[in-house]
């Protein structure tokens, strides 16, 4: 699903090179290596195993930085041209507070791009297993981002049609794991979410990327269909409301 997400997400990013970019929840660094190739990149990741993978990938690239922790590790007052956060906001209980704090880290005119599972009616065993507090309706996500101080908010979908099948498989796996492992906490689920059914190695990731190429054209034809949402908003150029 990562390659399908990037196919849409990259179209929402600002143009140009050399931007100051922060990624909150960089996982194993698949997005980070793409962004660091053209921009001044800083990634944050709570899960130590994923952090180590991301750090290794960026070291191979020779660009960018990743830190193990939350936004507390960002220097006070530092601001960015772009903040991205993929499959993170649903893990945060106080999502309104998180979004507002992220917007404060943007320079006026900066952009925030995020993705998140869509539609609460689709909340299932997989969501619970990886520490999701909720899924989002598009209108709810727009309102949340606007209240956080963003404007020109737009929402797109991705994953049509293969995303529905992927979620069905993940729900089956999650049910089986629950029977064998028992209940886990939200924190435990969040910690392993970036590694849940992810490709085992670069070769597997490349193979999946190639296999999903036809589905990229399908999802572009159906921007309002798919189980997952991508959203973009901008901090106003003249912003007196956020400090």
Which residues does 33 contact at the CB level (< 8 Å), separation at least 6?
57, 58, 61, 64
Task: Kindly state the average pLDDT of the residues 95-106.
Answer: 98
Identify the pLDDT of residue 52. 97
Which residues does 165 contact at the CB level (< 8 Å), separation at least 6?
none
CB 154 within 8 A of CB 231: yes
104 SS3 class: helix
Identify the pLDDT of residue 62. 96
Q: Which CATH number fits domain 2-234: 3.40.50.300, 3.40.1080.10, 3.30.70.141, 3.40.50.150?
A: 3.40.50.150
Residue 119: count other Cβ atoms within 10 Å of its Cβ.
14
CA 229 remoteness from chain centre: 10
> How confident is the model over 159-198, as pLDDT tens digits?
999 999 999 999 999 999 887 777 767 676 676 666 555 5
Q: Which stretch of DSSP H or E encloses residue 139?
A: helix 138-147
Task: Kindly state the average pLDDT of the residues 92-103.
Answer: 98
CB 66 within 8 A of CB 29: yes
Which residues does 82 contact at the CB level (< 8 Å), separation at least 6?
13, 14, 19, 20, 21, 22, 39, 106, 110, 111, 112, 113
Token pair listed for 146: 């606007």
Identify the pLDDT of residue 215. 79
Identify the pLDDT of residue 196. 57
pLDDT at residue 59 is higher than 60 = yes
> How confident is the model over 109-123, as pLDDT tens digits?
999 999 999 999 999
Residue at token pair 């991508």 = 230
Identify the pLDDT of residue 82. 99
152 SS3 class: strand
**Model confidence, pTM:** 0.86
Banded model confidence at residue 238, pLDDT cuts 50, 70, 90: confident
Task: Kindly state the average pLDDT of the residues 224-242.
Answer: 87
CA 238 remoteness from chain centre: 27
Identify the pLDDT of residue 240. 53
């Amino acid at each position: 699903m990562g390659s399908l997400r990037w196919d849409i997400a990259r179209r929402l990013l600002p143009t140009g090179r050399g931007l100051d970019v922060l990624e909150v929840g960089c996982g194993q660094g698949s997005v980070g290596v793409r962004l660091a190739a053209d921009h001044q990149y800083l990634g944050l990741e709570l899960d130590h195993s994923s952090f180590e993978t991301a750090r290794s990938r960026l070291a191979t690239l020779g660009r960018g930085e990743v830190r193990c922790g939350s936004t507390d590790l960002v220097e006070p007052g530092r601001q960015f041209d772009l903040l991205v956060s993929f499959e993170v906001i649903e893990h945060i209980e106080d999502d309104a507070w998180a979004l507002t704090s992220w917007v404060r880290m943007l320079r006026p005119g900066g952009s925030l791009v995020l993705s998140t599972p869509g539609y609460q009616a689709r909340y299932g065993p997989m969501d619970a297993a990886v520490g999701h507090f909720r899924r989002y309706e598009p209108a709810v996500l727009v309102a949340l981002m606007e209240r956080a101080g963003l404007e020109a908010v737009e929402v797109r979908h991705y994953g049509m049609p293969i995303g529905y099948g992927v979620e069905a498989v993940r729900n089956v796996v999650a049910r089986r794991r629950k029977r064998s492992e028992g209940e886990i906490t939200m924190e435990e689920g969040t910690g392993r979410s970036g590694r849940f059914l992810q490709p085992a190695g670069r070769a597997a990731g490349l193979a999946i990327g190639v296999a999903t190429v036809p589905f990229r054209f399908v999802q572009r034809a159906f921007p309002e269909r798919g189980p997952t949402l991508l959203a973009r908003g901008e901090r106003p150029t003249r912003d007196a409301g956020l400090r």
